[in-house]
């Protein structure tokens, strides 16, 4: 039983998000929203020009 509690054993705990990875995830999310907005604008323009 003592071998299980050695220094290499880590108890299961929720993954802590560090500041760097959190900023990276937020930046990726922002880029995804920007790309989605550009694609949506292109689709709207193509629909508008299709009606003309």
Q: 1-52 pLDDT, tens per residue?
A: 555 555 555 556 666 656 678 889 999 999 999 999 999 999 999 999 998 7
pLDDT digits (tens, 9 = 90+) for 19-32: 678 889 999 999 99
Whole-angstrom Cα distance, residue 34 to residue 42?
12
CA dihedral 9, 12, 16, 21 (to 10 degrees): 70
pLDDT for the residue 31: 97
> What pTM was computed for the model?
0.56
Token digits for 1? 């039983």
pLDDT for the residue 22: 84
């Amino acid at each position: 039983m003592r071998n299980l509690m050695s220094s290499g054993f880590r108890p299961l705990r929720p993954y802590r998000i560090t500041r760097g990875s959190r900023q990276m995830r937020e930046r990726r999310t922002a880029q995804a929203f920007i790309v989605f907005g550009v694609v949506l604008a292109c689709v709207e323009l193509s629909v508008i020009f299709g009606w003309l």
